[in-house]
Homo-oligomer: A and B are copies of this chain.
Amino acid sequence: MKKLINDVDDLLAESLAGFAAAHADIVRLGPERHFVARRERKPGKVALISGGGSGHEPLHVGFVGHGMLDAACPGQVFTSPTPDQMLAAAQAVDGGAGVLFIVKNYSGDMMNFQMAAEMLEQDNATVIVNDDVAVENSTYTTGRRGVAGTLVVEKVVGAAAERGESLAALKALGDAVNKATASMGVALTSCTVPAAGSPTFQIGDHEMELGVGIHGEPGRRRVKLGSADEIAAELTGAILNDLSLRPGAEVLLFVNGFGGTPLLEQYLMVHAAHQVLAGAGVKVVRHLTGSYVTSLEMAGCSITVSALAPEQFALWDAPVHTAALRWGM
- Which A residues contact B (CB, under 8 angstroms)? 2-6, 11-12, 14-19, 21-23, 54-55, 57-58, 62, 77, 186, 188-189, 205-206, 208, 225, 227-229, 231, 255, 259-272, 274, 284, 287, 289, 291, 294, 296-297, 299-301, 326-329
User: A267 contacts which chain B residues (CB < 8 A)?
Assistant: 15-16, 18-19, 22, 57
- Asked if A228 and B6 sit within 8 Å, CB to CB, the answer is yes
Complex Cα distance, B57 from A82, in Å, reads 37
Pull 18 A–B residue pairs with CB atoms less than 8 Å apart, ordered by A.
A2-B188, A4-B266, A4-B269, A5-B265, A6-B229, A14-B228, A16-B267, A18-B268, A21-B271, A54-B264, A55-B262, A55-B264, A57-B264, A57-B267, A262-B294, A264-B296, A291-B291, A297-B299
Task: Choose among B21, B265, B266, B272 the residue that contacts A274 (Cβ–Cβ < 8 A).
Answer: B21
- Asked if B301 and A268 sit within 8 Å, CB to CB, the answer is no
User: A19 contacts which chain B residues (CB < 8 A)?
Assistant: 267, 270
Task: Choose among B21, B22, B231, B297 the residue that contacts A4 (Cβ–Cβ < 8 A).
Answer: B231
Q: Give the nearest-CB partner of A187 in chain B.
A: B2
Known contacts being A4-B301, A263-B62, A263-B294, is A18 close to B274, with CB within 8 Å? Answer: yes
- Asked if A262 and B297 sit within 8 Å, CB to CB, the answer is yes
A14 vs chain B, min Cβ distance (A): 5
User: A329 contacts which chain B residues (CB < 8 A)?
Assistant: 327-328
- Asked if B22 and A265 sit within 8 Å, CB to CB, the answer is no
Complex Cα distance, B227 from A6, in Å, reads 5
Complex Cα distance, B10 from A229, in Å, reads 12
A42 vs chain B, min Cβ distance (A): 21
- Asked if A265 and B4 sit within 8 Å, CB to CB, the answer is yes
